[in-house]
Structure 1
Amino acid sequence: MRRLVQLGAAVLLSVSTTATADLQVSEAKLRLLPGDLPAAGYFTLTNNGSQPVVLSGAQSPAFAQVMMHRSSLENGMASMQPIEQLEIPAGATLTFASGGYHLMLIHRQRELALGDQVEVNLQFADGQSLPVTLTAALPTALRRA
């Protein structure tokens, strides 16, 4: 019985580890505003694996709080809603960009300047995390085309 439990744990660990190994992040940028105004995190997350993954949050030592949001525009009114989690199907790509999904990073814990690197850990529902490095950029450089 003990051997069966160990084997089961090893299989689960390999599946969980594989899930984050199959994820690719690109175009990771931080929209930096002056003072202590909130920053926004943008990136493209691709799931190259054979199983869906569920993004459930993020954290960063550079900010006291990191939340997932979705911006939308309906009938000329802009709004922003918090997002609890997002599923990325196998083979799919999810883009965090201005005017859509984004990370809202609140209360800087240190001074940041353009070009600085900010570490963010993306957290997944299976308990895994994926470190991502965002590069601080001007808001005008991050507008949708």
Structure 2
Amino acid sequence: MLTIPFNKLSSLIRTVCGIALFLVAAPPALAAETLTTEEARIRLLPGDLPAAGYFTLRNTGDADVILVGAQSPAFGSVEMHRSVDRDGVASMQPVEQIELAAGEQIAFAPQGYHLMLMQRARPLAIGEEVEVTLLFEDAQRLIVTFQTVSPASL
């Protein structure tokens, strides 16, 4: 029968628990190697009106990815939407997820997919940079720096 002194057993348990805690608390993998963005802009409207986020997302990896949301410390709420024109009537619809195949790209642009950024945490000015984290189904995250722009510039 194997006997382990209590102090050695206690040390072993602490080590195993520490490793387990690290694995659980470790931040999700960053997607920087295979996901890139271009032209990240936030159309900033006056006052507390919602802003819109536009960018191009490119998947340079070998696996498909699914974008499931976004968040930003500058806004209380960030949602994915799509503008739709049916029979001459324009509307916005919430989007739960967007699939992006390996080697493909998708444009978030006016009259298409876009981020709706609501409930500003602080006043923002044209020309400021705002961080937005894109969230993916497999727990990947991509931090993107957006430039705030005037609605007239789009």
TM-score grouping bracket, smaller chain normalisation: 0.7 to 0.9
Q: CA 1:45 to 1:91, structure 2 compared with 1: closer, same or farther past 3 Å?
A: same
| Paired residue secondary structure (2:118) | strand
- Determine whether 1:31 maps to 2:50: no
1:88 maps to a residue whose letter is L
Report the alpha carbon displacement of residue 127 of structure 1 after superposing the two structures with TM: 0.8
User: How far has the Cα of 1:17 moved from its partner?
Assistant: 4.6
Asked whether the equivalents of residues 72 and 79 of structure 1 are also in contact (C-alpha less than 8 Å), the reply is yes
Q: What's the C-alpha RMSD, in Å, of the aligned pairs? A: 1.3
SS in 1 for 2:153: helix
Structure 1, unmatched stretches of 5+, are: 1-15
Question: After superposition, where does 1:79-94 map in structure 2 within 5 Å?
Answer: 79-94=91-106
Structure 2 segments unaligned to the other structure (5+ residues): 1-27
Alignment partner for residue 130 of structure 2, among 109, 118, 123? 118
Report whether the alignment pairs 1:77 with 2:77: no
Does structure 2 retain, via aligned residues, the 8 Å contact 1:19–1:51? Answer: no
- For the 8 Å contact 1:69–1:104, the answer to whether it is kept is yes
Question: For 1:64-114, what per-residue CA distance to the aligned partner results, in whole angstroms no more than 9, with x for missing partners?
Answer: 000000001121100111000001000000100000000000010011010
**How many corresponding residue pairs?**
127
User: Which structure: larger Rg?
Assistant: 2
Stretches (4+) displaced over 2 A = 16-20
Report the counterpart of residue 45 of structure 1 in structure 2.
57
TM-score, normalization by structure 2: 0.79
